[in-house]
Amino acid sequence: MTRFYDISRTLEAGMAVWPGDPEFELTWFTRIRDGAAANVSAVRMGVHTGTHLDAPLHVDDAGRDIARLPVGDFIGPARLFRIAAAGGIGAAELAVLDWRGVERALFQWVPHGPGAGDSPGPYGFFHDDGARYLAGKGLRLVGTGEPGVDAPSSAGLSAHRILLGGGVAILENLRLEGVPPGDYDLVCLPLKIAGAEGSPVRAVLRRSV
């Protein structure tokens, strides 16, 4: 038997977005009820809205855009770690985890930060030495249930720079509540948007039970 976990946040009007980012908006161009042959809508949003992937272009003008990243990074085995800590963690906290065979690492902070949902309020993040530790593991992807991998007060986005500069894709704002820690198959494909520094994703975990 296979169990699926949808770990994506729902894109909807009124959802939390990072301050300064566009609000999510769905508008209708044509409606059947108005006599059109089909319903056709359009979406306005920032690419970092909800559950999303960051590409190197996010923090580096010379970095690759989301359309140029290898899709194999976003499909495959992943391990979900539960972090029982408030605020940031570093290399010391990460070193005690079981890293055998890990290609993609997902992190669920407990308690869940009140800033979850793209708000810049307090949430779990990685100190620079923690980001360097993860980059040194040769991971293909790091994901978090929090709004970002950097501290809310970070101006330079150093954890982003360390991870993306080390070839590690960043998956942010996952909906991990109620998902047990352990090993899964992850699918989190971004839209192929030429020139974009990120993309929303539909992230799913699969596990045989």
Active site residue ranges = 58
Structure tokens at 81: 């770690």
Contact 109, 83 (CB under 8 A): yes
CA distance 77 to 83: 19
Find the distance separating the first CA and the last CA of the chain, reported in whole Å. 6
Give the residues across from 111 on adjacent strands: none
Structure tokens at 192: 């192929």
At 47, the amino acid letter reads V
Structure tokens at 156: 């330079």
Cis peptide before 114 (omega within 30 of 0): no
* Close Cβ partners of 197 (under 8 Å, ≥ 6 residues apart): 47, 54, 55, 57, 58, 63, 65, 66
* Close Cβ partners of 15 (under 8 Å, ≥ 6 residues apart): 9, 24, 49, 50, 117, 118
Length of the chain: 209
